[in-house]
Chain A
Amino acid sequence: MRIEGLRHRFKETVAVDGLDLVVDEAEIFGLLGPNGAGKTTTIRVLTTLLPPQEGAVEVFGLDVRRRRMAVRRLIGYVPQALSADAALSGRENVTLFARLFDVPRAQRRDRTAEVIDAMGLTDAADRPAGTYSGGMIRRLELAQALVSSPRLLVLDEPTIGLDPVARAGVWDRIHETRARTGMTVLVTTHYMEEAAAHCDRVALMHRGRIRALDTPEALVRSLDEEDANLDDVFREYTGGDLEGGGLKDVRVARRAR
C-alpha cells in the first residue's frame, strides 16, 4: 500500500496535509495520532469511500480512484463504530459478506463456519447479533471482514470502547489470522501500549502529516531517555495533545446497533 502526497480538505479544515506512506506486505502497521490527526480520512481514501483530492494512493498497485471495485475486492474493513446488523444472526451477518465478495456457493457455508470458529463465535453463531457483547460484535465484524480472505485488513480503532479482556481477544485473533494467511494489517489506534505490543511498525500522525515512522522499539530508543515508552514518543511529536479530540469518536464507537 502506497500513499504519495495525499491532501484532503473539508471546507476550511485540512484533514490530511501531504501524506507519504508505504506499508509493506504482511506487516501489522499502526497509524497513530490524536483525534483529528487525519487517520480516519486517510482510511476513507484508502478504502475508496472518499476520492482523493490530491496525491496518489495505490493498494497492491491498484489506483484507488480508477480501480475502485478491484481495490474493494482486496480489502477487509472494520469501521470504528460497532456495526454488525443487530436484527441478523452472527452467521447471517457473515454469510452476507461472503455473498458480497463472491465466495463461491459451494464453499460459502464452510468458509463462513470457519471464520466464525476462528473468531470463537461458533456457540453464538445463530443468535441475533443484538444479543452480543461489544467484544463479540467486534470479533463478528472481523469474521465479516475475513470471510473473503482479504489481502489487506483495515481496522479503524478496533479496540475502542472494549474492556481489557475483549481487547486482548481481538488482538489475538488478528495475530492468528495474519500468521495463517500472511495478509497485511493496517490499524489506527490511540492506545499507545497496544500499538507498542502489537504493531511491527508505527507511524505517528499529527495535523495531517506523518511526524515519525519506525518500529515501536526504535522510536522509543530514539528518545534517548530511560524508561521511555511510546506515550513519551507520542508526546514528543504531537506536543502532548493526546487528548486533543473530543468525545465524538468515542460516542460514535459506542453507538452499536
Chain B
Amino acid sequence: MSVSLAAPVEPIRLLASRTSALCLVELQKLRRDRTEAVTRAVQPALWLIIFGQTFTRLRVVPTGDVPYLDFLAPGILAQSALFVSIFYGIHIIWERDAGVLAKLMVTPTPRAALVTGKAFAAGVRALFQAIVVVALSTLLGVHLRLGPLHLLGVAAVVVLGSAFFCCLSITLAGLVLKRDRMMGIGQAIIMPLFFASNALYPVSVMPGWLQVLNHVNPLSYEVEALRGLLIGTPARLLLDFGVLVGSAAVAITVASMMLGRLTR
C-alpha cells in the first residue's frame, strides 16, 4: 500500500527539492554580481531614451490614443527580459566546458530541475530589468498602472517569458554544442523574435505573413499581457497567460531532454 502511494510521490518530491536547491544557489550567485545587473540596465534605458523619445515625436506608429512612449515601454520591458534569457544557451555550454554541468548531472538530480534552476535565474535577472524599465518609464512621464496586483501580474509574465526564452536557448545549445556557433544563433534569433512581435508597433501595421508569425511568437503574448497590465490597453490576459505557461512548460521539457547531449 505504502509502496504504491510512494511511487508517484517520490519523483515529484525529488524534482521539488532539487529545483529549490538549484534556485537557491542561483540567488546566491546573483548576489555576487550586482555590477552585471547595472550594466545590463543600460540597453533598455537607451532604447527608451533614444529610440522612444525620437519615435514619440515622429508619430509614424499608429497607436491610437496611447502616446508612443507608453506603448513602447512594455515592449522594451519584454525585450530586455528576452535579451537576458536568450544568452543562457551560451552560459550552459560554458558550464559544460568547465565541467560543472557533468558534475551536476552525476548527482541524483532530475534534468528538469537543472533546467528549471536556470529558467528561474533568467526570470530573476529579468525582474531586475523590469524594475529599471518601470522606474525609468515613470521618470519619462509614462502613465503606468502600478497597483500591487498589476505588478504581481507583470512579475509573473516576465518570469514565464524569460523561462521560455532561456529554455529555448538551452535547447538550441543542445543542438549546436559549440559556444561560438551559439553566439551567432543567439543574435540571429533575437532579431526576428523581436521585430516579428508587437513590441515596437501594433500587429495591424505588419504584412499578412508577418502577422501569422506574430501569432506563434510567445514574445507577442508577453508584450500584450504587459501592455494590458501596465497601460490598460485591451489584452486577452487569460489567453496570454495560458500561452506563456504552456510554452514555458514545453520548453523546460524539451530543454531537459537536450541536456544529456551536452555531456556526451
> Which residues of chain B in 101-130 are interfacial with respect to chain A, using CB atoms and an 8 Å cutoff?
102-109
Q: How far is the CA of A29 from the CA of B28 in the complex (A)?
A: 37
Chain B residues with CB under 8 A of A257? 98, 100
Chain B residues with CB under 8 A of A256? 98
B33 CB to nearest A CB, Å = 7
Chain A residues with CB under 8 A of B16? none
A50 within 8 A of B: yes
Chain A residues with CB under 8 A of B97? 81, 252, 255
Given contacts A83-B100, A100-B109, A128-B32, contact A50 B25 (CB under 8 A): no
B25 touching A255 by the CB < 8 A rule? Answer: no
B54 within 8 A of A: no
Chain B residues with CB under 8 A of A144? 103
B264 within 8 A of A: yes
A83 touching B21 by the CB < 8 A rule? Answer: no
B28 touching A92 by the CB < 8 A rule? Answer: yes
A100 touching B104 by the CB < 8 A rule? Answer: yes
A81 touching B98 by the CB < 8 A rule? Answer: yes
A79 touching B99 by the CB < 8 A rule? Answer: yes
B18 within 8 A of A: yes
> Which residues of chain A in 66-122 are interfacial with respect to chain B, using CB atoms and an 8 Å cutoff?
69, 72-73, 75, 77-83, 85, 87-88, 92, 96-97, 99-102
B181 within 8 A of A: no
B102 touching A72 by the CB < 8 A rule? Answer: no
Chain A interface size, under 10 / 10 to 19 / 20 to 34 / 35 or more: 20 to 34
Question: What mask results when residues 12 to 37 of chain A are scored 1 for a CB within 8 Å of chain B, else 0?
Answer: 00000000000000000000000000
A168 within 8 A of B: no
Query: Which DSSP category, helix, strand, loop or mixed, fits chain B's interface?
Result: helix
Q: How far is the CA of A80 from the CA of B102 in the complex (A)?
A: 10
Contact of B108 among A50, A78, A88, A101 (CB under 8 A): A101
B215 within 8 A of A: no
A73 touching B108 by the CB < 8 A rule? Answer: yes
How many residue pairs between the two chains, A and B, have CB atoms under 8 Å in the bound complex?
79
Chain A residues with CB under 8 A of B104? 100
Chain B residues with CB under 8 A of A80? 99
Closest residue of chain B to A50 (Cβ to Cβ) is: B264
Question: What mask results when residues 152 to 181 of chain A are scored 1 for a CB within 8 Å of chain B, else 0?
Answer: 000000000000000000000000000000
A228 within 8 A of B: no
B100 touching A100 by the CB < 8 A rule? Answer: no
A85 touching B100 by the CB < 8 A rule? Answer: yes
B29 touching A72 by the CB < 8 A rule? Answer: no
B63 within 8 A of A: no
Q: How far is the CA of A102 from the CA of B100 in the complex (A)?
A: 19
> Which residues of chain B in 19-67 are interfacial with respect to chain A, using CB atoms and an 8 Å cutoff?
21-22, 24-25, 28-29, 32-33
Given contacts A49-B264, A50-B264, A100-B18, contact A87 B98 (CB under 8 A): no
Closest residue of chain A to B109 (Cβ to Cβ) is: A100
B263 touching A100 by the CB < 8 A rule? Answer: no
Contact of A47 among B21, B33, B98, B106 (CB under 8 A): B106
Q: How far is the CA of A49 from the CA of B97 in the complex (A)?
A: 15
Given contacts A47-B106, A73-B108, A77-B106, contact A100 B99 (CB under 8 A): no
B106 touching A48 by the CB < 8 A rule? Answer: yes
Given A73-B108, A85-B29, A87-B33, 4 extra CB contacts under 8 A:
A72-B108, A77-B106, A83-B99, A88-B29
**Could you write out 25 A-B pairs with CB less than 8 Å apart?**
A47-B106, A50-B263, A72-B107, A79-B99, A81-B98, A82-B98, A83-B99, A83-B103, A85-B100, A87-B32, A87-B33, A88-B25, A96-B25, A99-B18, A99-B24, A100-B18, A100-B107, A100-B108, A100-B109, A101-B107, A102-B17, A141-B103, A255-B97, A257-B98, A257-B100
